Amino acid sequence: MKELLVATKNEGKIGEFRDMFSKYNISVKSLLDLDESIDIEETGTTFEENAVIKAQTMMEQLNIPVVADDSGLEVDALNGAPGVYSARYAGIEKDDNENLQKLLNNLEGIPESQRDARFVCAVAVARPGAATIVKRGTCEGSIANEPQGSHGFGYDPVFIPKGASRTMAEHTSDEKNKISHRHHAIKQIEEWLKTQA
C-alpha cells in the first residue's frame, strides 16, 4: 500500500480522505503526522488557488507528490458567503459551532425556498517535475433552520443535500462519501490515484 501526503490539519477531512483513498490502496498521511506547527497561509481568492498553494508548498519542501483540499460552503442568499472564508467565518479561531451559528443568524427569517447552498471542494495534486492538477467537486443543497445530527464536521449539521430530508450530519460517513463535494473532486483525480497505488 502506497502512502500519500494530504496537506491538511482538518481531522474531518483526513478521515474522509482515508476512507475514499483506501479503495485505491493508498494510505493517508497528514500534516498532523508530519508537524502540527506547519501553517500554510491561504492567500488565494478561489478554492482552486488555495488548494494549489497548500499542495505546492508541501511538495516544494519535501519533493514528493502532495494532495491538498480547499473547501467551503456557498450560500446564494449571502452572495456566495462564507465561500473561501468558511473556516474563519466567525473569526480567526476555527470553531465549527460558532461558524454555523453565525450562518444561521445571518439567514434568520429567510424562507426555505431561498436557502439554496452548495459545498465546494477543490483538490490539488502537486508533483515534482510535473504540472499541478486541480479539480472541483460540488454538492448542491440548502441550509436547515437548526443544526441536526452528529456525523461529519464543519457545516454538516446545517446542510441538507438536494433530494434528501436529513442533514449531512445525519448521513453516515459512507453515505456522505458517495455524494459529497469531496467525493466528486476526488473522482476527477482517479486516473492519477490509480497510478500511485
116 flagged as catalytic: no
Q: Other CB atoms closer than 10 Å to residue 148's CB: what's the count? A: 15
Question: Could you tell me if 169 and 157 are in contact, meaning their C-beta atoms sit under 8 angstroms apart?
Answer: yes
Side chain identity at residue 6, one-letter code: V
Output the nine-digit C-alpha cell for 7: 496537506
Q: Which residue carries 443568524 as its cell?
A: 105
Q: State which residue, 39 or 191, has the beta carbon closest to ligand ITT.
A: 39
Task: Give the whole-angstrom CA distance, residue 166 versus residue 121.
Answer: 21
Among Mg ion, ligand ITT, none, the one that 180 touches (CB under a kind-dependent 5 to 8 A) is ligand ITT
Q: Is 187 annotated as a binding residue?
A: no
Pick from 65, 141, 147, 152: which binds ligand ITT (CB under 6 A)?
152
Q: Is 162 annotated as a binding residue?
A: no
Q: State which residue, 162 or 194, has the beta carbon closest to ligand ITT.
A: 162
**Residue 142 within binding range of ligand ITT, rule CB under 6 A:** no
Q: Which residue is nearest to Mg ion (CB)?
A: 87
Task: Give the whole-angstrom CA distance, residue 58 versus residue 48.
Answer: 16
Pick from 18, 19, 132, 153: which binds ligand ITT (CB under 6 A)?
153
Q: State which residue, 40 or 77, has the beta carbon closest to ligand ITT.
A: 40
Question: Which of the ranges 70-78, 107-115, 129-137, 185-193 carries the binding residues for ligand ITT, by CB under 6 A?
Answer: 70-78
End-to-end CA distance of the chain: 6
Pick from 5, 10, 20, 118: which binds ligand ITT (CB under 6 A)?
10
Cis, peptide link before residue 65, omega less than 30° from 0: no
Q: Where are the beta strands (DSSP E) in 7-91?
A: 26-30, 66-75
**Residue 126 within binding range of ligand ITT, rule CB under 6 A:** no
Any idea what the Cα angle at residue 58 is, between residues 96 and 136, rounded to 5°? 60
45: Cβ contacts below 8 Å, ≥ 6 apart: 84
Residue numbers in the known binding site are: 8-13, 41, 70-71, 153-156, 176, 181-182
Residue numbers in the known binding site for Mg(2+) are: 41, 70
Binding residues (CB under 6 A) for ligand ITT: these are 8-10, 13, 42, 69-73, 86-87, 96, 99, 119, 152-156, 180, 182
